[in-house]
Structure 1
């Protein structure tokens, strides 16, 4: 397996762990690995009347994972979230936010709710 394939496999495992973690906390997973022309979303989940667009990062440490999503990446995720919402009118009454789940070996996943908002640097 090449480096790219290995990284892809690690990403899939991290996203599966994050989805499991969210379900254990009462979230419903609506979509996984969303690929749109304007961007990508790792997970889309719902809890109550809030839709969460979740970026999952796995690194050697939780701090490294928490700090590795750039403002440019968040803007791409935001564009993808807007597109996803536009295609699903049944969720238009829901609030929505952008979360980050950080995963590192030897630690439970760290879920940072409302990690970014449009207009943040």
Structure 2
């Protein structure tokens, strides 16, 4: 049992680190971070960022191997983020901003990959 707790702790630490990397990456590209790890009854949004009248609800995925990033995101995960974003939209888009759902993929020894507007049902 200790082993699985240690594994969860490592995964949690890796996820937090990846979210910090993603937020930094967004800042470098002109985004202002509005929130991190924002929880709702339907799920969590890892990063919420704004730039030029656009709010991005960002799912961050980290893998220890770059080749594993291809399978890091799926419809189920995006649907959960979309449900959370719908709840959060009125709080973060008060001035009629457009909104979208993005994904940032993080792996060691490579730049983050920013996938934009990955959920078209939003």
Q: Same fold (TM over 0.5)?
A: yes
Q: 1:95 maps to what in 2?
A: 98
The yes-or-no answer on 1:64 pairing with 2:71 is no
Q: 1:118 maps to what in 2?
A: 121
**Unpaired stretches in structure 2, ≥5 consecutive residues:** none
Q: 1:23 maps to what in 2?
A: 27
Q: Structure 1 pair 3/61, CA: closer, same or farther in 2 (3 Å)?
A: closer
The yes-or-no answer on 1:39 pairing with 2:30 is no
Q: If the length of structure 1 is used for normalisation, what is the TM-score?
A: 0.89
Q: Structure 1 pair 100/87, CA: closer, same or farther in 2 (3 Å)?
A: same
Query: How far apart in 2 are the matches of 1:69 and 1:51?
Result: 20
**Unpaired stretches in structure 1, ≥5 consecutive residues:** none
Q: Structure 1 pair 19/88, CA: closer, same or farther in 2 (3 Å)?
A: closer
Give the alignment partner of residue 55 of structure 2, picking from 51, 60, 63: 51
Q: If the length of structure 2 is used for normalisation, what is the TM-score?
A: 0.88
Query: How far apart in 1 are the matches of 2:6 and 2:84?
Result: 29
Instruction: Give 1:38 shift.
Output: 1.0
Query: How far apart in 2 are the matches of 1:23 and 1:36?
Result: 24
Instruction: Give 1:75 shift.
Output: 1.0
1:71-82 mapped onto 2 (5 Å cutoff):
71-82=75-86
